[in-house]
């Protein structure tokens, strides 16, 4: 069924100016060229892994990863009497499901088997829906905790295992889940004779996203963002989560879990947002009103089908400059770019997080350099003479050389180090003041002062991250009317610094394409004039 797309009049002024014209063009194109998508839900695939367990092992896994105290026997009886034991998947299709998850062999299927599997996916989806209801009947939030733990176990061990957190980490298993998705994609393409529109719902681990970015030129990672207050209200009213449960979900998805290798095996939604190609805005103040989201989806699907159909919006154009600027950063922790414009989006200055002009960026310094070279232009007096610092830096260098003697993984690499990390490890504090670099927003503001400016009050700040408390204060003092950001606001900058006083800047989470996707979507394959000429000659 072809979806219906809202007219500009039904978008509550979401698009204005020339963006209204842009939307009308993409809407018209999509209405004539729309193709339905195959939907692959990651939760459905996790169900497939779960179904490979016995009822007893599954019950133990569910209970051991529950945030609430529940009776294992209650769960076991529910598994025996419910959809876990009474579905056709295990009885009729166990061999095919086993082959899907067994990556040691090629998944060679006939056209008919591939076609049958597409229909099996609908049975898996029905099981997931029914199983979710059964878990939620036992304890609110049990479905989320179970499936999050399943994902962590699969990324660590390649399967759903009890006590997976104590198991040895297998690096190859980081991509086990996306490889399973990829096997399904191949079956879909076999059925459709290679051409297919596929959406994966949803990727929450950045390494899984990179798996697909590296394999498919037409892959776009899309983040869908909602205001915090809308998202919390939606989760409380529709999913019946308590505020504590919401906080716990966000903590798990933040990528801040502790332990060895957790950055490879756990969810990190914030990092996924950071590396997304397309950012969509999804207000949830009216739960059943999806017009704004639909409008953005049609915008970018039309551009995927026909790159260069329209030019980018002014917000995308400026953020793309900020995105380009971050590549100049010599910070080895994270690269951030920023742009300051006037109220009409005319660029006045740019910045990126880096050391002050005349100093050597961290990416161009090294542990062996600070220990052995004593270059006063590259390493500070503190780094060259403080014995505690030098001892800790030398410990790192010795450890790296010991590792490299075994497997040569560092051969040819510049052994950069983070001054802040070493210094903070000495005084046991997480002090952010000891960074060598200026923040990107700070740098952009200082360019205005350094090279002269007619004033920027009422202007806009664009940043590929989001301003910290210190940069938020500077933006407020400069009279920024709008702050456009990509990453969700960390810390208390939003609540404590921005949203107070009588000159509060508007906070706008970026929406649009950025990075490589900006060029893939907006660069014309043929000039439109030539394209029309060719079509007229047909």
Confidence at residue 246, expressed as pLDDT on a 0 to 100 scale: 72
- Using DSSP, how many helices (H) and how many strands (E) does the chain show? 23, 10
- Is-contact 350 325, C-beta < 8 A? yes
Task: Give CA–CA dist 204/202, Å, rounded.
Answer: 6
pLDDT higher than 90, residue 94: no
- Residue 424 DSSP SS3: helix
Q: Extract the tokens encoding 79.
A: 């598994």
Confidence at residue 154, expressed as pLDDT on a 0 to 100 scale: 97
- Give the highest mean pLDDT range of 26-35, 467-476, 481-490: 26-35
Q: Domains in the chain, please, with CATH?
A: 14-37+224-309 (no CATH), 38-196 (no CATH), 315-354+437-521 (3.40.140.10), 362-434 (no CATH)
Confidence at residue 355, expressed as pLDDT on a 0 to 100 scale: 97
Nearest 10 degrees: Cα torsion 109, 110, 113, 117: 60
- What does the pLDDT average to over 402-408? 94
Q: Would you give the DSSP letter of residue 498? A: I
Task: Give CA–CA dist 29/344, Å, rounded.
Answer: 29
Q: For the stretch 166-188, what's the b/e string if a residue is b when 16 or more beta carbons lie within 10 angstroms of its beta carbon?
A: eeebeeebbbbbbbbbbbbbebb
Task: Give CA–CA dist 352/8, Å, rounded.
Answer: 37
pLDDT band per the 50, 70, 90 thresholds, residue 194: confident
Task: Give CA–CA dist 125/451, Å, rounded.
Answer: 59
Task: Give CA–CA dist 274/433, Å, rounded.
Answer: 24
pLDDT in tens, 67-81: 889 999 999 999 999
What is the pTM (predicted TM-score) of this model? 0.91
Task: Give CA–CA dist 310/321, Å, rounded.
Answer: 19
Task: Give CA–CA dist 137/142, Å, rounded.
Answer: 9
Q: Which of 101, 180, 91, 75 is nearest to 127 (CA)?
A: 91
pLDDT in tens, 427-468: 877 666 678 999 999 999 999 989 887 789 999 999 999 988
pLDDT band per the 50, 70, 90 thresholds, residue 245: confident
- What does the pLDDT average to over 269-297? 90
- Is-contact 420 435, C-beta < 8 A? yes
Pairing assessment for the beta strands 506-509 and 482-485 based on DSSP bridges:
parallel
Q: Extract the tokens encoding 51.
A: 């179904």
């Amino acid at each position: 069924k072809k979806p219906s797309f809202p007219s500009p009049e039904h978008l509550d002024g979401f698009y204005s100016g020339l963006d209204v014209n842009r939307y009308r063009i993409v809407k018209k194109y999509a209405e004539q060229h729309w193709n339905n998508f195959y939907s692959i839900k990651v939760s459905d695939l996790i169900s497939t892994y779960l179904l490979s367990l016995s009822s007893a092992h599954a019950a133990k896994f569910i209970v051991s990863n529950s945030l609430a105290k529940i009776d294992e026997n209650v769960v076991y009886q529910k598994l025996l009497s419910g959809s876990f034991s009474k579905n056709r998947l295990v009885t009729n299709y166990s061999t095919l499901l086993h082959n899907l998850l067994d990556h040691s062999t090629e998944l060679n299927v006939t056209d008919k088997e591939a076609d049958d599997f597409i229909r099996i996916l609908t049975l898996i989806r029905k099981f997931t829906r029914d199983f979710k209801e059964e878990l939620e009947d036992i304890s609110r939030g049990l479905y989320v905790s179970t499936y999050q733990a399943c994902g962590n176990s699969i990324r660590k061990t390649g399967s759903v295992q009890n006590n997976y957190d104590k198991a040895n980490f297998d690096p190859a298993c980081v991509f086990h889940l996306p490889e399973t998705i990829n096997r399904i994609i191949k079956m879909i393409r076999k059925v459709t004779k290679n051409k297919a529109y596929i959406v994966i719902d949803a990727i929450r681990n950045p390494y899984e996203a990179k798996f697909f970015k590296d394999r498919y030129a037409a892959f776009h990672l899309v983040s869908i963002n909602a205001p915090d207050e809308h998202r919390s209200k939606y989760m409380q009213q529709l999913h019946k989560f308590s505020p504590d449960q919401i906080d716990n979900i966000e903590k798990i998805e933040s990528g801040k879990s502790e332990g060895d290798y957790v950055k490879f095996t756990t969810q990190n939604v914030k990092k996924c947002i950071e590396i997304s190609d397309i950012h969509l805005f999804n207000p949830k103040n009216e739960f059943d009103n999806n017009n704004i989201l639909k409008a953005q989806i049609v915008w970018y699907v039309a551009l995927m089908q026909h790159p260069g159909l329209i030019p980018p919006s002014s917000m995308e154009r400026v953020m793309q400059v900020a995105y380009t600027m971050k590549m100049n950063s010599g910070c080895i922790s994270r690269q951030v770019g920023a742009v300051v414009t006037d109220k009409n989006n005319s660029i006045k200055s740019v910045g990126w997080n880096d050391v002050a002009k005349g100093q050597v960026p961290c990416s161009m310094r090294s542990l062996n350099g600070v220990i052995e070279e004593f270059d006063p232009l590259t390493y500070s007096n503190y780094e060259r003479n403080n014995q505690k610092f030098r001892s800790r830096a030398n410990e790192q260098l010795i450890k790296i050389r010991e590792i490299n003697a075994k497997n040569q993984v560092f051969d040819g690499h510049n052994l950069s180090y983070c001054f802040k990390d070493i210094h903070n490890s000495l005084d046991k504090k997480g002090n952010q003041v000891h960074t060598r670099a200026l923040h990107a927003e700070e740098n952009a503001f200082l360019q205005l002062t350094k090279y002269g400016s007619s004033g920027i009050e009422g202007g806009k700040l664009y940043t590929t991250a989001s301003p910290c408390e210190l940069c938020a204060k500077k933006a407020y003092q400069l009279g920024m009317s709008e702050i456009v950001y990509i990453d969700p606001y960390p810390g208390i900058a939003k609540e404590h610094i921005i949203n107070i006083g009588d000159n509060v800047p508007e906070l706008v989470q970026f929406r649009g394409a950025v990075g490589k996707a900006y060029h893939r979507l907006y660069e014309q394959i043929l000039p439109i004039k030539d394209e029309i000429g060719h079509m007229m000659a047909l």
